[in-house]
Amino acid sequence: MGPLDRRFRCRRTGTEAASLLPFHPRPLDRAGVADFVAWGFTTGTRTLLADVERVITPWELPSPAGPATADSLWEQLRAVVAAHGDAWAALSGGLDSRAIAAAAAGPVATFGEADCADLPVAARVAAALDRPHTVTTLPGDAARLHEDRVFTASGGWGGPDAAPGAHTDTLWAAPTLLSGMSGDVIWGDTALGGRTPDSRLRKLGVTAVGDPADAVPPPPSWAHPDSHGAWLSLWTRQARVTWNGVLSRRPHTPVVPVCWEPRLLGLCLTMTAEQRSDRRLVRAMLARHAPTLHGIPTVRGRTYDLDRAFATDPWWSAELRRMAEAAGLWAEMGLNPRGVARILRLQARGRRRRGALVSRLRVLWRHAQLQGGWS
């Protein structure tokens, strides 16, 4: 199995599937719910469903021929994108996407809200590369329009925060889309994201959660010690992020998560801390092999403001209110209904930012509907 393959197994019957959805109806597993609320993923073999476990199989990564250098990274990147011919490159304007766009030869495509800070930067990168550039402005209700599709295609893991990217795939004419998802960890120094703060977990009634490292296989013997933190993050948080962002789009446009290609991923696991810091090796690679991009700044813009959608879309406001009033459902999951209701109401009023936690609660809500716990 590769880095983005996944399997789940019912302990009782031995049945396996690539999604949680075929295993319904089953009650939600309180330990899995706690991990999901705390981390954004479940840990070890736990899943959101009782009696259903995640099958953990070590990744099959080839040993790289040598250490990562600006030239070897470029050579491997070019080999990955060349295998997909006339593919388009998803260009946010950030460092990861511009590296892939520079290595590819086809058009580039960008999406975001009208005031997204990445859009003008992406336009400058496309102009410097002299590539056709398609820009799609997201509607404010993109998360609502594609929520069902994302939840189903991602096997019951993706919530509204994964939906905006799905909006573009019915509009773009891309035969294949090259994505830089998780590049910040694969060739950068982004650490494993921490869990929801303890003070908030206590308000939600969550007291015990698993350790993400408990069931992660050891990294390859040839991986540099400075890349072991990236290995842990890729096995846990980043794998789920990429599942949501890639699987939910493939029914319409084949999406290739370039940085996860086994040979490229293996090479990146030989990077030192110095090469990872501020993605220094990637910057050196671009300076050497894509000099026209030199001087174009990177911007940490948000491609979609889910908080704004929650606070301004009447449909979402009604849904968050309905969820807040479902005290019995949250209690069945082992959560504190008052704590859940408080977060949902603050989000609906625009008094709270970073809607990722609310998106997780929405995933739990959808699973509860499937098991008949709410209608």
DSSP state of 124: H
- pLDDT tens digits along 164-206: 888 887 788 788 999 999 999 999 988 877 889 999 999 999 9
CB 131 within 8 A of CB 88: no
Q: Is residue 121 classed as helix, strand or coil in its secondary structure?
A: helix
Backbone Cα Rg of the chain: 21
- φ, ψ of residue 334 to 5 degrees: the values are 90, 10
- pLDDT tens digits along 323-367: 999 999 999 999 999 999 999 999 999 888 888 899 999 999 999
Q: Does residue 213 carry a pLDDT above 90?
A: no
Q: Is the dihedral of CA 327, 335, 201, 144 positive or negative?
A: negative
The DSSP bridge partners found for residue 88 are 177
Q: Which H or E element spans position 81?
A: helix 70-82
Q: Does residue 220 carry a pLDDT above 70?
A: yes
Q: Does residue 375 carry a pLDDT above 60?
A: no
Structure tokens, 33: 């719910």
pLDDT, residue 208, reads: 87
Alpha carbon 320 to its chain's center: 23
- pLDDT tens digits along 126-173: 999 999 999 988 888 888 988 999 999 899 999 998 888 888 877 887
Burial of 368 (0-12, 13-18, 19+ CB in 10 A): buried
- φ, ψ of residue 20 to 5 degrees: the values are -75, -25
Q: Residue 240 corresponds to which amino acid? A: R
- Tally of CB atoms within 10 A around 187: 31
Structure tokens, 48: 């959101």
pLDDT, residue 373, reads: 53
Mean pLDDT for the chain overall = 90
What is the spatial distance between Cα 86 and Cα 93, in angstroms, rounded to a whole number?
20
Q: Quickly list H helices, 131-272.
A: 142-145, 147-153, 164-168, 183-186, 198-204, 228-233, 239-247, 262-268
Q: Which H or E element spans position 29?
A: none
The set of residues, in sequence order, having a beta carbon less than 8 Å from that of 256 and lying 6+ positions away, is 80, 84, 87, 176, 177, 178, 179
> Nearest CA to 252 among 163, 175, 321, 339?
175
pLDDT, residue 67, reads: 93
- pLDDT tens digits along 77-122: 999 999 998 899 999 888 999 999 999 999 999 988 888 888 899 9
pLDDT, residue 212, reads: 87
From first CA to last CA, the distance across the chain in angstroms is 37
Q: Which H or E element spans position 16?
A: strand 16-17
- pLDDT tens digits along 262-319: 999 999 999 999 999 999 999 999 999 999 998 898 876 555 788 888 999 999 999 9
Structure tokens, 319: 């849904």
- Tally of CB atoms within 10 A around 148: 11
pTM here?
0.91
By percentage, how much of the chain surpasses pLDDT 70?
A: 97
Angle (CA) 303 237 219, round 5°: 130
The DSSP bridge partners found for residue 215 are none
pLDDT, residue 303, reads: 58
